[in-house]
Amino acid sequence: MTSEAVIIGAQIVAGHDGSAELLVRLRHPNGAEGPVVLDEATGLMLMKTCGATHVDELTGQSWRRIVEGL
């Protein structure tokens, strides 16, 4: 088991203001899973930071990648 939360999935969802948001699902070291919703700019930065061209490529990345680009 990993010692930090990892991304187990992501999908593009509609935001409340009509823009796209990125819903990222995390699995924590204790096995708990939970969502994190990222605004469009942060979602795009996560994709860039991870070198991902598709949301499926985020799976397995550390949750820390979310804050690296901020």
- Mean pLDDT across the chain, nearest whole number? 94
Supply the pLDDT for residue 63: 96
Nearest to 13 by CA among 43, 48, 33, 51: 43
pLDDT-derived band at 5 (thresholds 50, 70, 90) equals very high
Delimit the domains of the chain by residue range: 6-68
Predicted local distance difference test score (pLDDT) of residue 1: 54
Q: Rounded to whole angstroms, how far apart are CA atoms 29 and 26?
A: 10
Residue 2 has pLDDT above 70, yes or no: no
pLDDT, one tens digit per residue, over 33-62 is 999 999 999 999 999 999 999 999 999 999
